[in-house]
């Protein structure tokens, strides 16, 4: 029976026959099982709240993107797998060691009760960071496996990319233009000049639409990154920027969905 199908299929079919267990190819693994928990059930949230503060929130949210943002659909490598802990010496990750150290404290406490993967911890921590800064509550599934080494290099977008470069970069990770614009709203946190550095709101979009784009008198204090301004130059992005500037709850809804997609990127799920 097995010999009549391709090698790939033979493995799947034979294992059904022999053990009653299906060995899914990584890409087809079901993403939820009865053992999957929501973050509100887990001790993680409580321990994370002890180590997080509004001031630390931006770094922690950035950590999520730099771990998960290595994912590419084409070869199904990278993604939210905790590999950031092996990648801290990369130039694009400068400054993120601080955020990993903050989370390490919570991880030690949680591991003593029930081990948690870096991938789960970082995913939940980003959601906690958003909520701590008055952004929307986000439910994150748990059960991610950690990788045992670093992900491929050169996959995070450079701040010098123009809009089409940013779109292409996000497309390779499976994200639409709308999701690119929604996720970029994370830059409302931090010190790039979009409203309060510790309040998660839609001021990123409002400030991007303001003219002139540089505060009077200061070239060096330009608000935002070149990549933030590149989005405004693109008609498709501009439409979303306007919508999110006008409608904060729409931004929150779309950010939530895109965040969940980000933290599920390339994940190998535990399948207990």
Residues making contact with ligand HEM (CB under 6 A): 58-59, 61-62, 65, 95, 157, 159, 166, 183-184, 186-187, 189-191, 225, 227
Q: Which residue is nearest to ligand HEM (CB)?
A: 190
Give the alpha-carbon dihedral of 54, 201, 71, 73, to 10 degrees: 160
C-beta of 110 vs 183, nearer to ligand HEM = 183
Q: How far is the CB of 241 from ligand HEM (least distance, A)?
A: 13
Q: How far is the CB of 112 from ligand HEM (least distance, A)?
A: 29
Annotated active-site residue in 7, 9, 66, 229? 66
C-beta of 81 vs 227, nearer to ligand HEM = 227
Q: Is 187 one of the annotated active-site residues of the chain?
A: no
Q: Which residue has the tokens 């190998």?
A: 268
C-beta of 69 vs 110, nearer to ligand HEM = 69
C-beta of 65 vs 269, nearer to ligand HEM = 65
User: Can you read off the two tokens belonging to residue 25?
Assistant: 């190819």
HEC sequence for the chain: CHHHCCHHHHHHHHHHHHHCCCCCCHHHCCCCCCCCCEHHHCHHHHHHHHHCCHHHHHHHHHHHHHHHCCCECCCCECCCCCHHHHCCCCHHHCCHHHHHHHHHHHHHHHHHHCCCCHHHHHHHHHHHHHHHCCCCCCCCECCECCCCCCCCCCCCCCCCCCHHHHHHHHHHCCCCHHHHHHHHHHHHCCCCCCCCCCCCCCHHHHHHHCCCCCCCCCCCCCCCCHHHHHHHCCHHHHHHHHHHHHCHHHHHHHHHHHHHHHHCCCCCECCC
Q: How far is the CB of 95 from ligand HEM (least distance, A)?
A: 5
Q: How far is the CB of 226 from ligand HEM (least distance, A)?
A: 8
Q: How far is the CB of 195 from ligand HEM (least distance, A)?
A: 13
C-beta of 190 vs 195, nearer to ligand HEM = 190
Q: Which residues are part of the catalytic machinery?
A: 66
């Amino acid at each position: 029976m097995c010999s009549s199908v391709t090698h790939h299929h033979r493995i799947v079919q034979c294992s059904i026959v022999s053990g009653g267990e299906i060995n899914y190819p990584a890409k087809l693994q079901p993403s939820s099982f009865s053992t999957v928990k929501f973050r509100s059930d887990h001790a993680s949230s409580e321990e994370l709240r002890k180590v997080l503060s509004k001031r630390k929130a931006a770094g922690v949210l950035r950590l999520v993107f730099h771990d998960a943002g290595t994912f590419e659909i084409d070869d199904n490598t990278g993604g939210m797998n905790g590999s950031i802990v092996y990648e801290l010496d990369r130039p694009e990750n400068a400054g993120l060691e601080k955020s990993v150290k903050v989370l390490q404290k919570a991880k030690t406490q949680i591991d003593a009760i029930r081990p948690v993967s870096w991938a789960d911890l970082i995913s939940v921590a980003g959601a906690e960071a958003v909520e701590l800064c008055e952004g929307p509550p986000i439910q994150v599934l748990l059960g991610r496996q950690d990788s045992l080494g670093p992900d491929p290099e050169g996959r995070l977008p450079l701040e010098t990319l123009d809009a089409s470069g940013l779109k292409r970069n996000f497309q390779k990770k499976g994200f639409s233009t709308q999701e690119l614009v929604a996720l970029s709203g994370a830059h409302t946190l931090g010190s790039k000049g979009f409203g309060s550095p510790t309040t998660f709101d839609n001021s990123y979009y409002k400030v991007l639409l303001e003219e002139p784009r540089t505060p009077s008198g200061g070239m060096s204090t330009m608000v935002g990154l070149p990549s933030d301004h590149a989005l405004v130059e693109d008609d498709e992005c501009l439409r979303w920027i306007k919508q999110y500037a006008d409608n904060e709850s729409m931004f929150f809804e779309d950010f939530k969905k895109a965040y969940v997609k980000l933290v599920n990127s390339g994940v190998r799920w535990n399948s207990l």
